[in-house]
Each structure stands twice: as structure tokens, then as C-alpha cells.
Structure 1
Amino acid sequence: MVSSSSVRGLATRAVFYMSSHKAFESQAAYDANTVTAIHTLQAWYNQGTGLWDTTGWWNSANVMTVLADYAVQNHDSANSLGIPNIILNTYDQAQKTSFQAIKSLNGAGLPISTYVKIPRRPSITARGFDDFLNDYYDDEGWWALALIRSHDVGVSGLGDQKFLQAAMRIFEDMKGGASTCGGIYWSKVGTYTNAIANELYLKVAASLANRVPGQKDYYLDIAKKEWDWFKTSGMINQDNLINDGLNDNCKNNGGNTWTYNQGVILGALVELSKATGDRSFLNEASSIATAAIVHLTRDGILYEGCEPDCGADGAQFKGIFMRNLRELQQAAPQDAFKNFLLQNADTIWAKDRNNQNQLGPTWTGPFATASAGTHSSAMDALVAAIAVA
């Protein structure tokens, strides 16, 4: 667990930032910056595939999620930007585009995903769920969460129930990946039990418990059992950070503490707290969030150890942490979390943006390069700032 001195240190740094830097931007300014970023993002959008060029399959699910998050924050602006139509097009087109997925871990434990596009079939079956399912349970979890958040948008005519049904179908496939260590495997083609697939499984289960009243007990029972296993699995280390996964003996493998591993669990515990009414889950989430901010930052800004070259996968990680920290902040507000979210959003816009308003991978700057993945990841911080400002 994080020591009390670490928590005090985080609060002290947050206060220092407030006293030694300019005031944070207004909510309207964060919204305006996000709108600008959305216009830039859509230059990468491929209407035909429903995906975002320059980034991968699971990354596009996260891009869809950040747009849905913005739509929840500002329905009117999202409508004027055409976000409901983007979501519908991605839902329709992405599942018509088949990929063969190949994943591996490099020497540093960084996931490397390769997707080989297969010629499009002339038709799809039953809403095309076979194309939201592949050999990797983490990919499936990202799409399930994107569909759940699309359901949350609730814009008239968006057909939000079909998104929820899609997520339920994906969840059942994930459930079939039971690992001998407990939880689920990372993939259908290997025996690695890792953090991210299990955090996604937990968050999808808890999210569905809060959105499918007739089956709440079913999803909640799975979510509670998954968390009971996860917290004793050994993946949470002595610093209260989550390592990448378990070894063949079902022990912590000492893998990297990627920021997204510290992120998804926060949102999962928020959903679990909402489903049960038990705020102790929020306390556990706050401890993990505090540990991440203490250990995984540079000068108060979130930092991934692989920067500036994190590949297509690692480039997405930090935004996922910010998104889930925002969910925690909305459920259990703390000044230190709020200030951290705003500080990162301000720094991104001031130091990690080029003259085309593209956002890069290293938020402290200087800007080097951008893709739909780096840009949408940074956008997660901007959308979070709107929510908490």
C-alpha cells in the first residue's frame, strides 16, 4: 500500500503547482481545446473501415471511447461535430473489416500488435459480432467498453440498446477464457495471464451490472469474484502498482507497471462501487491511483517508461489512465486528483502540440510526432479536464 507520506507528498506537489503556475484553464477553454482536437483527429478517420488510420484495431476502440466520453459531457457540441454519426459508422463498418491479429511482447514487455487486413466479406451475420471478436481478450474488452460508452451517450436515434447487446455478446466470449491461475487468459492462442485482460473483464462485468437491470446479479457476481481473485493474485506489488502479469507459476512476473494497468482498474472499481453501494472499492482505487501518480510521473506529468517511442500500443496507455482517473475523481473527488488531471491537460496543450494541433506521445514536450493513437490518448486528458474543471 502507498504510505501516508507518499499521499502527503502528492498533495504537496498539487498545492505547489497551484501556487507556482498560472491558474488552470476554465471548463469552456478545455471544451474549446477538445473541439479543436476532435477536428484534427478526424483527419485520420477512414469512413470506409470505420477505423482511424495510423493506429491499430484496439486503439480505434479507445478512440471511439474518447469521442463517446466527450459526447456524454457535451451533447450539443457532440451533435454539431457529428459524433453520433461517427459512432454509428464505426459500429457498422469496423465489424465488416476483418483482421488477423498477431501479438507479442518485446524485450521490455511492451505489447506489440500487428493486424493484417483480410479482404472484406460481402455481408456480415447477426450484427457482425464475429468481427468484434478475435483471438485476444484484451482487444475484445476494449471494444466492449467502447460499445458500453456509446450506449451511455443516449443520443436520440443512436440505437443505444444494440451497443449494449454487442457488449454482452463480447463479454460471454471473454468469459470463456478462464485461466488456470484464476481470472482469464490474455488470448485464445496462449497461456499468459496478464493484468490488462483481467482488468477489462472486471470493468465490463461491473459496467454491465449497472446497465442491464434484469441480469445485474449475474454480472455483479462475476465482477466481485474477479476482483476478489485479482487483489490476491500477486499482480499488485508492494508499491501498490500493478505489474504486467503472472508467470507460469502464477506469481507476479515483475513485468512493467504500464500506466494503463494502473488505469482500467480504477474505472472497474468505480463501477463495482456503484453496483454494490460499497465505497471501500473507491478507497482501494484511490490508493492505486495515488501510487501511480507518485511513481509514474515526471515533474507532475504522467510518463510512460518507453517514451518517446512506445509504438502504436504503448502510445495509447496514458490516456487510458487519465480516463479512468477522471471516473474515480467524479465518484470520489480529491483535490490532488483534480489538479493532476488539469495540470496534465494544460501541459499537453502548451508543450505537446504542433501547428496543426496534433498531439504527441510525450506530454511534457517538445512535440515530435503524432498518430491517431498519440492524439486520442492526449485527448483523454482534455476530456477529463472538462469533466473536473
Structure 2
Amino acid sequence: MVSTTWGGLAARALFYMSTHPPNRTATHAAYSGNTELSVKALQDWYEPRTGGWRTAGWWHNANILTVLTDWALIEGPNQNVNVTDIAANTFVNAQKLHVEVRKRHSTGGQTSWSQKFARETEDGFPKFINEYYDDEGWWALAWIRSYDLTRSIEYLEMAESIFEDMHSGGDNICGGGIWWNKDKQYKAAIANELYLTVAASLANRVQGSKDKYLQIARGQWTWFQESGLINEESLINDGLNTTTCLNNHDTTWSYNQGVILGGLVELSKATGNDSYLSTAVDIAKAAIAKLEDKDGIVHEADLCDLRGNCGVDGPQFRGIFMRNLHYLYKAVPNQDFATTIRKNADSIWAKNRDPKTNRLGISWVGPPEAGGGPTAKTHGCAMDTLVAAMGVVAGSK
């Protein structure tokens, strides 16, 4: 006689679930629902007048817009959050906001900075240009993704305009590459990864100038490979010592392992050369091995997330890695990448969410209030992972 006790039913259900993966549609619905709740929570920080999100800095706002457009590309039209309208408002109003930013690069690759918001002026940051080439790269990518969502040509033209300013930051010191900022004191990996990624992305979208952008992207990748920025572990350090032009062996921050993945995906698409994807897979595998713990949860390279303090920039880093890991997964559907993304999304929702507000904190193993959060930065970072999980389950554009 078969037992009909709860214990017997539960045991059989557990066995069934272990041998029959969850229905793909149901799983997508769960991730979609969770992510929509996080999108609504994010918008509590949005200020239409400034086009930005409170508690986030200038470049963080570009990344927050990017994760929203990535979500909208997967989700499709949503009656509760209109990302097309958000992008249009940010496009107009963020340029008007006068933001005085001062950054300082310190040992280990961490950045300290101050940011002062003044009243709206005509000067502001017109065309999203400031003193930092990496900031410009983030905004260029945000407008490229906004173009992908809306097909509004003004966004693509803005990305081209921003890229022209980035291009002016290049020279032959250390054999090539662009500077981190306009003081020309440091050649950072992140600025150069963004330069590559924007160039390759434009090559795939601006057909009349494809050859120009592709030539730049190819040349930039050749320089990047030969610069020594990729170390013997297939990880990317923070930058070059501009006295010796050698790898400075500073921290292998997660976002440096991420942006390069997206750049190589775009370069592979532009050229039809899969060898770029092979290199990206090697970097992704090395990064996962370096960053994840025994439970598969990704931490920052210096474990600052577990301390609740990743400085002013670091709270955004891991989300950028997960976003670009998702881009790579779409090109190379490696199930290990999907597992990493989903494990982290599940941990974030179960352990790092304020159940009253659905806001997400800095530590993906919780609690959400670690480090005085959540903030728009920590939330946007975690949301990148939720969106990536939606993508690996459902597929995306």
C-alpha cells in the first residue's frame, strides 16, 4: 500500500523535482515577477527633474538605465514601468544637471571621489561629456541599449558623439589605449574595456561607419591583449603603471572581468570570428573561479561586499559582471554560466531583499541593510543579476 501521508508526498515531490527540472515557463514567470517588483522598487529613487536616481552617482545612473533597458528588452511592454519614457526623460534632463565630480585613483585600484550637485544650468554635462573617459563609456553604452529598445536614432547619435570624445583620449604612451581621465595620469583597464566595447557596439549598429568603428575595435583589442593587462590567471588587473607600462597587479575587480566579455561578444558579432568568444569564455571561467564562494555566490575580489563597504564605486561592480556574463551566455550558452547567474539571483531574492520594500542590498547573502543600505547603487547591481536570470531562462533580444 502506498503511503498518503504528507511525509510520503513531500518525499515524492522532492524526488520528482530533482529528476524533472522546473517548467521553463513557470520558472521564467517567477524570475519575471521578482524582477518587476525590483524595478518598481528602483523607481522609488528616481527623480524626473534630474533624470537620475537618488543615492547613485553620475556613472552609476548610466548603469541603472542600462539594466532597465535590458529588462525591458526581455520583458516587453509593461504597463507599470515605461522604460521608454524613463530613457527619454533622462536623455533630456540628466544633461542639464550640473554635477561637479572629483575622483582620485588609490592603491589597489579603488577610487575615491566627491560629487556635488548644483542647480540646473545650461553648462551641466551636455552630451554626457565630463572629465572621465570611463564615465563617458558607461553613458555611451546606456544610450546604445536605449537605441536597441526604442530604435530612436538620437540615442545612437549620442553614443557616437560620446565615443568621439573618448577617442580623443588615446595616444601612443604605453603603446596605445586611452587614458582614464583628461589629466592623463593613468591608463585604467576599465576605460579601455569600455572604449573597445563601445567601438564594437557601434560597428554592429552604424552600418555607414562600420569599417571605421571595427578598425578601432580590432586595434584596441590587439593593444589590450599585448599590454599585459590580462594576467597569467586570465584575469584583468586594474591598470598599467604608466612609468613602466607594466601591469600594476592591482585588484582584479569583478567589473573588469565583465565589461571585456560584452566587448568581445560585440567584436565577434561584428567580425564573424568566434575566437573572440573563446577568449571571453576563458576570462569568464577564470573570473567565476576567482569570485564565487563554495555555494556559488559571487563576491567582490576583496570581499568588500561581505563587510558592507565597497567604497563609493564598488557597490555597482558585480552587477556589471553578471550583466556581461549574460551577454556572453546568449552567444555561448554554457550551462555553468547559467547556473552561476541563477544561483546568485536566487540568493539575492531569498537573503538580500527587504520584504517590505523589495529593495536589494550590497551583500548577496544578506542582510539587505548591510552597510547602511539598500541604495540605488546596491539595488541596481543586484537587479542586473535578476535580469540576467530572466534572460538565461527565457532568452532575450
How big is the shift at 1:366?
2.4
Q: Report the counterpart of residue 113 of structure 2 in structure 1.
A: 113
Q: Report the counterpart of residue 174 of structure 1 in structure 2.
A: 166
Q: Report the counterpart of residue 218 of structure 1 in structure 2.
A: 212
The answer to whether structure 1 residue 234 and structure 2 residue 228 are counterparts is yes
Report if aligned partners of 2:234, 2:286 keep a CA contact under 8 Å in 1. Answer: yes
Q: Report the counterpart of residue 87 of structure 1 in structure 2.
A: 87
What is the CA–CA distance in structure 2 between the aligned matches of 1:261 and 1:234, rounded to whole Å? 14
The answer to whether structure 1 residue 279 and structure 2 residue 274 are counterparts is yes
How big is the shift at 1:99?
1.4
How big is the shift at 1:112?
2.1
Report if aligned partners of 2:204, 2:270 keep a CA contact under 8 Å in 1. Answer: yes
The answer to whether structure 1 residue 379 and structure 2 residue 383 are counterparts is yes
Helix, strand or coil at the partner of 2:247:
coil
Q: Report the counterpart of residue 152 of structure 2 in structure 1.
A: 160
What is the CA–CA distance in structure 1 between the aligned matches of 2:105 and 2:277, rounded to whole Å? 32
Q: Report the counterpart of residue 68 of structure 1 in structure 2.
A: 69
The answer to whether structure 1 residue 365 and structure 2 residue 360 are counterparts is no
What is the CA–CA distance in structure 1 between the aligned matches of 2:255 and 2:223, rounded to whole Å? 19
Report if aligned partners of 2:99, 2:125 keep a CA contact under 8 Å in 1. Answer: no
Q: Which amino acid in 1 is paired with 2:236?
A: I
My pick for the range that moved more, 128-137 or 286-295, is: 128-137
> Which ranges of structure 2 fall in alignment gaps of 5 or more residues?
1-16
Report if aligned partners of 2:67, 2:384 keep a CA contact under 8 Å in 1. Answer: yes
What is the CA–CA distance in structure 1 between the aligned matches of 2:336 and 2:18, rounded to whole Å? 13
Report if aligned partners of 1:97, 1:131 keep a CA contact under 8 Å in 2. Answer: no
Question: Structure 1 vs Structure 2: percent identity of aligned residues?
Answer: 51
Note closer, same or farther for the CA distance 1:138–1:186 as it changes in structure 2 (3 Å cut): same
- Specify which of 284, 290, 296 is matched with residue 291 of structure 2: 296
Deviations 1:332-353 (A, max 9, x none): 1101001111111111100111
Q: Which amino acid in 1 is paired with 2:298?
A: L
Report if aligned partners of 2:111, 2:312 keep a CA contact under 8 Å in 1. Answer: no
How big is the shift at 1:40?
0.5
- Specify which of 161, 184, 188 is matched with residue 190 of structure 1: 184
Report if aligned partners of 2:59, 2:139 keep a CA contact under 8 Å in 1. Answer: yes
Report if aligned partners of 1:98, 1:131 keep a CA contact under 8 Å in 2. Answer: no
How big is the shift at 1:61?
0.2
Aligned length: 362
How big is the shift at 1:160?
1.3
Q: Which amino acid in 2 is paired with 1:72?
A: L
Helix, strand or coil at the partner of 1:26:
helix
The answer to whether structure 1 residue 145 and structure 2 residue 137 are counterparts is no
What is the CA–CA distance in structure 2 between the aligned matches of 1:291 and 1:112, rounded to whole Å? 28
What is the CA–CA distance in structure 2 between the aligned matches of 1:163 and 1:296, rounded to whole Å? 34
What is the CA–CA distance in structure 2 between the aligned matches of 1:315 and 1:50, rounded to whole Å? 21
Report if aligned partners of 1:302, 1:318 keep a CA contact under 8 Å in 2. Answer: yes
Helix, strand or coil at the partner of 1:113:
strand
The answer to whether structure 1 residue 269 and structure 2 residue 233 are counterparts is no
- Compute the TM-score of the two structures, normalised by the length of structure 2: 0.88
Helix, strand or coil at the partner of 2:99:
strand
My pick for the range that moved more, 303-312 or 100-109, is: 100-109
Q: Report the counterpart of residue 3 of structure 1 in structure 2.
A: none
Helix, strand or coil at the partner of 1:114:
strand
What is the CA–CA distance in structure 2 between the aligned matches of 1:76 and 1:49, rounded to whole Å? 24
- Compute the TM-score of the two structures, normalised by the length of structure 1: 0.90
What is the CA–CA distance in structure 1 between the aligned matches of 2:87 and 2:380, rounded to whole Å? 15
Report if aligned partners of 2:344, 2:364 keep a CA contact under 8 Å in 1. Answer: yes
Deviations 1:112-166 (A, max 9, x none): 2322223322x47xxx873510000000000000000000002xxxx61000000
Helix, strand or coil at the partner of 2:96:
coil
Report if aligned partners of 1:138, 1:186 keep a CA contact under 8 Å in 2. Answer: yes
Report if aligned partners of 1:96, 1:131 keep a CA contact under 8 Å in 2. Answer: no
Instruction: Report the aligned-residue RMSD.
Output: 1.8
What pairs with 1:35-54 in structure 2 (closer than 5 Å)?
A: 35-54=36-55
What is the CA–CA distance in structure 2 between the aligned matches of 1:131 and 1:312, rounded to whole Å? 24
Report if aligned partners of 1:312, 1:373 keep a CA contact under 8 Å in 2. Answer: no
Helix, strand or coil at the partner of 1:246:
strand
Q: Report the counterpart of residue 57 of structure 1 in structure 2.
A: 58
Report if aligned partners of 1:129, 1:166 keep a CA contact under 8 Å in 2. Answer: no
Deviations 1:191-237 (A, max 9, x none): 20010000000000000000000000000000000000101110101
Q: Which amino acid in 2 is paired with 1:112?
A: S
How big is the shift at 1:371?
0.4
Q: Which amino acid in 2 is paired with 1:141?
A: G
Report if aligned partners of 2:98, 2:125 keep a CA contact under 8 Å in 1. Answer: no
How big is the shift at 1:80?
3.9
* RCO comparison, higher one (Cα < 8 Å, 6+): 1
